[in-house]
Amino acid sequence: MGGRDATMVLLDENGIRCDGRKVDEPRRIMIKAGGLKNADGSAYIEFGDNKILVGVFGPRDVHPKHMSNTDTGILRVRYHMEPFSVGERKNPAPSRREIEISKVIKEALEPAVMLEKFPRTAVDVFIEVLQADGGTRCAALSAASVALADAGIPMRDMVAACASGKVADTIVLDVNNEEDQAGQADMPIGYMPSLEKITLLQLDGVLTPEEYKKCVDVGVQGCKIVYDIQKKALKDKYFGKGDD
Ligand code: CDP
């Protein structure tokens, strides 16, 4: 947290946020299923100004072999930011942050993916952040779910993700980059709407127990909005555009 621009108005007297949104309004979300010829499944997401491409490979043989599991398949996730994806060029070497985000996305996807159907194999998820603007882990997780479905990997549900947070003492949906930097709390949530199960919940900042509950509720509502867009992306690819 920590104010980057102390003069910026995060929430005006009419309840409008610094990017013109209402407190319960997500940024513009567009998801496209498929697109990468050489991947088994893929997806592209634009979430506000975030632009992220995901390729899924597998189930396939595991190398080195000793990393495989005779009882179940394994999921491997690599979240990678292009050096040009942020204002100040990012060092191309994997950062601690990218390693952490790879781990949390993997753990958020594992409850959804039926890995037990593919013993001794691996499913690889490669996430390329082309442009970052706050909330990339949620956008990447949502796109990864669509890419896994596009690859035909059996899943219990898709994981939809969205962050909520606290800005100017108010709980808001889908924290943007400015709000993340200057706001009071940021809570990324991953949720399987059909199963009503949360698979990712992180909190940066301080909330009262009441605010915490409200943040979870608001974030889950955001995930449900994302879920509809994920389903539409798959329908558009497999049943053609036109209907809902
Ligand atoms: O992206 P997400 O909100 O999931 O993760 P974060 O660690 O809270 O990063 C918030 C934002 O900081 C990112 O989305 C980027 O826009 C920005 N960032 C950056 O400008 N330079 C970096 N090396 C890493 C992140």
Considering the domain boundaries, does residue 225 fall inside one?
A: yes
Please check the confidence at residue 2 and state whether its pLDDT lies above 60.
Answer: no
Confidence of residue 242 (pLDDT cuts 50, 70, 90): low
User: What's the pTM value of the predicted model, to 2 decimals?
Assistant: 0.95
* Number of domain units in the chain: 1
How much is the pLDDT for 183?
A: 86
How much is the pLDDT for 137?
A: 98
Please check the confidence at residue 140 and state whether its pLDDT lies above 60.
Answer: yes
Whole-number Å distance between alpha carbons of 18 and 221: 21
**Which pair of tokens denotes residue 186?**
């940021």
Query: 177-191, pLDDT tens digit by residue?
Result: 999 999 899 999 999
- Say if ligand 1 is within 6 A of residue 86 CB: yes
Please check the confidence at residue 5 and state whether its pLDDT lies above 80.
Answer: no
Query: 177-226, pLDDT tens digit by residue?
Result: 999 999 899 999 999 999 999 999 999 999 999 999 999 999 999 999 99
Query: 67-120, pLDDT tens digit by residue?
Result: 999 999 999 999 999 999 999 999 999 999 999 999 999 999 999 999 999 999
Whole-number Å distance between alpha carbons of 199 and 223: 12
More confident residue, 82 or 63: 82
Residue of 100, 180, 201 to test ligand 1 pocket, by largest number of atoms within 8 Å of CB: 180
Considering the domain boundaries, does residue 13 fall inside one?
A: no
How much is the pLDDT for 8?
A: 76
CA 215 to centroid of ligand 1, rounded, Å: 20
Considering the domain boundaries, does residue 8 fall inside one?
A: no
- Comparing CA positions, the residue from 140, 137, 183 lying closest to residue 44 is 140
Whole-number Å distance between alpha carbons of 26 and 77: 26
Domain that holds residue 146: 21-239
How much is the pLDDT for 220?
A: 98
Considering the domain boundaries, does residue 179 fall inside one?
A: yes
Considering the domain boundaries, does residue 11 fall inside one?
A: no
CA 219 to centroid of ligand 1, rounded, Å: 19
Considering the domain boundaries, does residue 100 fall inside one?
A: yes
How much is the pLDDT for 241?
A: 76
**Which pair of tokens denotes residue 182?**
């200057």
* Residue with CA at minimum distance from ligand 1 atom 12: 134
- Which atom, in ligand 1's list, is nearest to the CA of 204? 8
* Residue with CA at minimum distance from ligand 1 atom 11: 134
CA 206 to centroid of ligand 1, rounded, Å: 19
- Say if ligand 1 is within 6 A of residue 132 CB: yes
CA 241 to centroid of ligand 1, rounded, Å: 33
How remote is the C-alpha of 95 from its chain's centroid?
Answer: 18
* Residue with CA at minimum distance from ligand 1 atom 10: 134
Considering the domain boundaries, does residue 12 fall inside one?
A: no
Work out whether the CA dihedral 81, 133, 212, 199 comes out positive or negative: negative
Whole-number Å distance between alpha carbons of 61 and 149: 20
Residues facing residue 17 across a β-bridge: 11
Burial zone of 147 (CB within 10 Å; 0-12 exposed, 13-18 middle, 19+ buried): buried
- Say if ligand 1 is within 6 A of residue 21 CB: no
How much is the pLDDT for 64?
A: 87
Considering the domain boundaries, does residue 160 fall inside one?
A: yes
Query: Are 102 and 79 in contact, with CB atoms under 8 Å apart?
Result: yes
What CATH number is given to the structural domain containing 170? Answer: 3.30.230.70
Whole-number Å distance between alpha carbons of 132 and 123: 25
Q: Please name the amino acid found at residue 222.
A: G
- Which atom, in ligand 1's list, is nearest to the CA of 139? 4
- DSSP secondary structure string for all residues of 99-148: HHHHHHHHHHHTTTB-GGGSTTEEEEEEEEEEE--S-HHHHHHHHHHHHH
Query: Are 73 and 122 in contact, with CB atoms under 8 Å apart?
Result: yes
